[in-house]
Chains A and B, each alone.
Chain A
Amino acid sequence: SFELTQAASVSVSPGQTARITCSADALTNHYVYWYQQKSGQAPVMLIYKDTKRPSGIPERFSGSRSGTTVTLAVTGVRSEDEADYYCQSTGSNDAWVFGGGTKLTVL
């Protein structure tokens, strides 16, 4: 199985764009999913298969990939976006792998 690496924290001012990255050598052959988790709540899927948004997710959440690094961008950050963000992929034997999570702070 492989590991997904995320920065522990990211801070941005309201209205700016936050970029949260997730990297691993083995990501080349695997899709990545992104989740938002607010304190005391269950995760919510923001992005699936690198770039697609589930129904109901605002367009200001977007996903992109460059080689073995995938990025979640949050444009026009709002105070309500303050949360933990996790990337997830699938390793051997269909086992899910999560990144360590990135805490987004809105200044």
Chain B
Amino acid sequence: EEQLVESGGSLAQPGESLRLSCAASGFTFSSYAMSWVRQAPGRGLEWVSGISESGDKTDYADSVKGRFTVSRDNSKNALFLEMNSLRAGDTATYFCTCQGLFWGPGTLVTVSS
């Protein structure tokens, strides 16, 4: 059974950094592009970033471009999101997803002083 599990979410102060991880199992991770999607409390879904199967192509929402970096390690079936210069507006539950078909349960990032 396909499974995605995010980790790394926590409370951070504005300007700090966090690294999110997403562990994949039950499918051939290296064959699929992956994405990060976030959801602020009480708000809708917002796409954050995407990465190609091999990791050679990445895309970002304008709201995080230059601050967030997506990467993957296909040897470890893992997806990452490095988040720098965090802002209050980055407070959200972050989901990793395999092309929208499989989703993790999400990990909560709270940015507050």
Within 8 Å CB of A94, what residues of B? 50, 59
How many chain-B residues does the 8 Å CB contact rule pick out? 18
Q: How large is the interface on A (under 10, 10 to 19, 20 to 34, 35 or more residues)?
A: 20 to 34
Instruction: Please give the residue numbers on chain A whose beta carbons come within 8 Å of chain B beta carbons, in ascending order.
Output: 1, 33, 35, 37, 41-45, 48, 54, 84, 86, 88, 93-101
Residue of A1, A44, A95, A100 with highest tally of chain B CB at under 10 A? A95
**A98-B44 in contact given A42-B95, A93-B59 (Cβ < 8 Å):** yes
Q: How far is B59's CA from A102's CA once the two chains are assembled, in angstroms?
A: 27
Assess the B100–A35 pair: CB atoms within 8 A. Answer: yes
Closest residue of chain B to A54 (Cβ to Cβ) is B101
Please list 19 pairs of residues, one from A and one from B, whose beta carbons are closer than 8 Å in the complex, sorted by A's number.
A1-B62, A33-B100, A35-B45, A42-B95, A43-B95, A43-B100, A45-B100, A48-B101, A86-B45, A88-B47, A88-B100, A93-B59, A94-B50, A95-B47, A95-B59, A95-B61, A96-B37, A96-B50, A98-B46
Is the CB–CB distance between B45 and A42 below 8 Å?
A: no
Q: Which 3 A-B pairs have the closest CB atoms?
A: A96-B47, A42-B103, A101-B44
A56 vs chain B, min Cβ distance (A): 11
Cα(A97)–Cα(B61), bound, Å: 10
Instruction: Report the bound CA distance from A42 to B38 in whole Å.
Output: 10
Whether A98 pairs with B61 at a CB distance below 8 angstroms is no
Q: CB-CB < 8 A to A41: which residues of B?
A: 105
User: Given A88-B100, A98-B44, are A42 and B106 also a contact pair (CB < 8 Å)?
Assistant: yes
- In the bound complex, what is the Cα–Cα distance between A96 and B36 (angstroms)? 10
List of A residues within 8 angstroms of B106 by Cβ: 42
What residues of chain B lie closer than 8 Å to A1, measured between beta carbons?
A: 62
User: B35 near A: Cβ within 8 Å?
Assistant: yes
Within the complex, the shortest CB–CB distance from A103 to chain B, in Å, comes to 10
